[in-house]
């Protein structure tokens, strides 16, 4: 979501939504991320999956945005899997587990 979408959804002014989002980012509830669409890079805001995911699926993008909050609660095998799947193939030193 963009701030304008959040403002419209909540029925508040853009400035109020911007302050709200800033507070949520400082609290670790939301994060600002960049999304590449074609040749364009857009800024979007994401909610921390600790507060809303009830299933077992977590994307790598959400993991990296909220890694500091997620690492203490995720099992080691999950962190290892992310590290293995997203390691640099040129790196022959092995896989380091984040966290």
Cβ neighbours around 30 below 10 Å, total: 22
Tell me the backbone φ, ψ of residue 68, rounded to 5 degrees.
-60, -35
The per-residue DSSP string of the chain comes to: --HHHHHHHHT--HHHHHHHHHHHHHHTSEEEEEEEETTEEEEEEEE-TTTT--SS---HHHHHHTHHHHTTTS-HHHHHHHHHHTS-TT--S--PPP-
Position 93 confidence tier, pLDDT thresholds 50, 70, 90: low
Mean pLDDT computed over 69-89: 87
Q: What tens digit of pLDDT does each residue of 34-44 get?
A: 888 889 998 88
The pLDDT assigned to 22 comes to 96
The answer to pTM > 0.85 is no
pLDDT at 95: 46
pLDDT score for 91: 56
């Amino acid at each position: 979501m963009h701030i304008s979408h959040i403002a419209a959804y909540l029925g508040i002014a853009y400035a109020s939504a911007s302050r709200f989002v800033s507070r949520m980012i400082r609290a670790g509830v939301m994060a600002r991320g960049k999304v590449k669409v074609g040749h364009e890079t857009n800024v979007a805001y994401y909610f921390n999956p600790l507060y809303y995911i009830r299933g077992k699926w977590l994307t790598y993008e959400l993991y990296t945005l909220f890694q500091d909050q997620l690492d203490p609660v995720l099992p080691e095998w999950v962190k290892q899997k992310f590290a293995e799947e997203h390691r640099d193939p040129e790196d022959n030193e092995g896989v380091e587990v984040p966290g």
